[in-house]
Amino acid sequence: DTGVSQNPRHKITKRGQNVTFRCDPISEHNRLYWYRQTLGQGPEFLTYFQNEAQLEKSRLLSDRFSAERPKGSFSTLEIQRTEQGDSAMYLCASRGTGGTDTQYFGPGTRLTVL
Amino acid sequence: GQQVMQIPQYQHVQEGEDFTTYCNSSTTLSNIQWYKQRPGGHPVFLIQLVKSGEVKKQKRLTFQFGEAKKNSSLHITATQTTDVGTYFCAGCRVYGNKLVFGAGTILRVKS
């Protein structure tokens, strides 16, 4: 257990529905990352927060995707009008302010879009 | 954009044999990290390499970072069944920035 928690762990939804995932990072970590992982691939970067500021977004993050970190603590990732291609594991990672780049991953939310 | 290639994609070894996975970046890296992901699990941090030519060891695992800071390798001596999983390298081009992961090498160990 890295101390990063994600909810829900599994989500099954129908195409066209909206879904929201939550990530609670390690409490003293100010940096938070979202990644997406599909079968047989490594995690792909989606977006990055430092405190409440969203500093970088991947081109993978279409306009149907939005992420927030309103108080610089937990973060949410929302997918609107889900498509079957959105089916993947959504991973959250947090990182502290020290000199290391180590990112601690949460258990992920597995999304299945029917 | 930055790409990280990892080979082989898959390796099946007999317990006690050695294993090596290689990682190559299209761009010079600030640092490279290695992660292990067990089946059904999430990536777990193993190590970070920062300096050109750096070599680090963790028990039976040896990690190397190339002189040009564009390639890296992970070598496991005398594999055990507990080594089973997917090993990912992840490159960081700018300090504190996002990680770009390779596709991973799946290791299976037959006892």
Report the C-alpha gap between A69 and A53 in whole angstroms.
7
Mutate to test the interface with A, among B23, B34, B98, B101 (most CBs of A within 10 A): B98
pLDDT score, position A60: 79
Q: Are B62 and B46 in contact (CB under 8 A)?
A: no
pLDDT score, position A84: 96
Cβ contacts from A onto B, under 8 A: 59
Task: Compute the C-alpha angle A59/A70/A83, nearest 5°.
Answer: 40
Task: Compute the C-alpha angle A103/B24/B79, nearest 5°.
Answer: 75
Q: Across the beta sheet with B71-76, what order do the strands follow?
A: B4-7, B19-25, B71-76, B61-65, B55-58
Record the tokens describing residue B43, joined without a space.
């990536």
Look at residue A28 and tell me whether its pLDDT is greater than 90. no
Q: How far is A26 from chain B (nearest CA, A)?
A: 15
For residue B35, list chain A residues with Cβ-Cβ distance below 8 A. Answer: 105
Share of chain B above pLDDT 90, in %: 87
Record the tokens describing residue B75, joined without a space.
């070598």
- A105–B42 CB contact, under 8 Å: yes
pLDDT score, position B40: 87
Closest residue of chain A to B104, computed from CA coordinates: A42
Indicate the residue of B31, B45, B103 with minimum beta-carbon distance to A42: B103
Band (pLDDT 50/70/90 cuts) for residue B2 is confident
Record the tokens describing residue B88, joined without a space.
């990912």
For residue B42, list chain A residues with Cβ-Cβ distance below 8 A. Answer: 91, 105-108
pLDDT score, position A59: 86
pLDDT digits (tens, 9 = 90+) for A52-81: 999 989 987 889 999 999 988 999 999 999
pLDDT digits (tens, 9 = 90+) for A1-17: 679 999 999 999 999 99
pLDDT digits (tens, 9 = 90+) for B48-64: 999 999 999 999 999 99
pLDDT score, position B98: 82
Show the 3-state SS of B63-82: EEECCCCCEEEEEECCCCHH
Report the C-alpha gap between A105 and B33 in whole angstroms.
13
Report the C-alpha gap between A112 and A6 in whole angstroms.
16
Q: B92 in contact with A at a CB cutoff of 8 Å? A: yes
Query: What distance lies between CA B32 and its chain's CA centroid?
Result: 9
Q: Are B33 and A101 in contact (CB under 8 A)?
A: yes
Q: How far is A32 from chain B (nearest CA, A)?
A: 10
pLDDT score, position A13: 98
pLDDT score, position B62: 98
pLDDT score, position A83: 96
Look at residue A40 and tell me whether its pLDDT is greater than 70. yes
Going by their DSSP bridges, the two strands B61-65 and B71-76 should be labelled as antiparallel
Q: A51 in contact with B at a CB cutoff of 8 Å? A: no
Look at residue B95 and tell me whether its pLDDT is greater than 80. no
Look at residue A100 and tell me whether its pLDDT is greater than 80. no
